[in-house]
Amino acid sequence: SAVISQKPSRDICQRGTSLTIQCQVDSQVTMMFWYRQQPGQSLTLIATANQGSEATYESGFVIDKFPISRPNLTFSTLTVSNMSPEDSSIYLCSAGTDIAEQYFGPGTRLTVT
Amino acid sequence: AQSVAQPEDQVNVAEGNPLTVKCTYSVSGNPYLFWYVQYPNRGLQFLLKYITGDNLVKGSYGFEAEFNKSQTSFHLKKPSALVSDSALYFCAVREGTGRRALTFGSGTRLQVQP
């Protein structure tokens, strides 16, 4: 199994600012993804983080708002840009190999005031 | 497009009784199916998966799930519930080929009463 860490674990940010969330995996993985979750609710996929190329975004999510980097097989960042209170959520990084299960980080709880 | 339905928002069961959390899915091609559990203020923990082979799969903490292709279901079961099993459970699906990201159900809150 893969162990995934995220930083920061939580943050309170002001409207209009940006926050970058880091995701580190303890082993090389094929796939990395970013999800968003409201507390107690289901997960919504934001994008697939592609190594060395632009991320693949889901409908409703755009690169200008959620820029993603993945410089190597074990690390990715998600930036939440020009934040508004609607961006308050839990952001989860996940990673896995092609045929196996995906593992999830502990999440980053973001509150925008 | 792929989708997952968890028809029960909450399941209540007495400790020691068997539990079932329901999941049905829709996907093109062969499904890869997963169950995850989430405890309060924690990330998702992997419980078990079905990729191919035996329809009954066993996972962590005594949980098991049965893949039923004709009913497109993948219900989570445990013979004897524990109070510590109380948590939020998610069923997820992905296509065997093509799209690799998981599609999650809405989640089912399991409450085990002592």
DSSP string of B62-95?
G-EEEEETTTTEEEEEESS--GGG-EEEEEEEEE
Q: Taking CB atoms and an 8 Å limit, are A40 and B106 in contact across chains?
A: no
| Identity of residue A8 | P
Q: What is the pLDDT of residues B36-93, one digit of tens each?
A: 999 987 889 999 999 988 999 999 999 999 999 999 999 999 999 999 999 999 999 9
SS3 B100: coil
Q: What residues in B contact A41, CB-CB < 8 Å?
A: 106-107
Which of A46, A42, A40 lies closest to A93 in space, CA to CA? A46
Closest CA–CA distance from residue B17 to any residue of chain A (Å): 25
Among B32, B43, B105, beta carbon nearest to A104: B43
| Chain B residue nearest residue A43, CA to CA | B104
Q: What residues in A contact B60, CB-CB < 8 Å?
A: none
Among A33, A42, A101, beta carbon nearest to B46: A101
Closest CA–CA distance from residue A15 to any residue of chain B (Å): 24
Q: What is the pLDDT of residues A9-49, one digit of tens each?
A: 999 999 999 999 999 999 888 889 999 998 888 999 999 99
Answer for the pair B93, B80: CB distance below 8 angstroms, yes or no: no
**In whole angstroms, what is the distance from residue A98 CA to residue A104 CA?**
15
pLDDT computed for residue A101 by the predictor: 83
A83 touches chain B (CB under 8 A): no
pLDDT computed for residue B40 by the predictor: 84
Residue B18 pLDDT class (50, 70, 90 cuts): very high
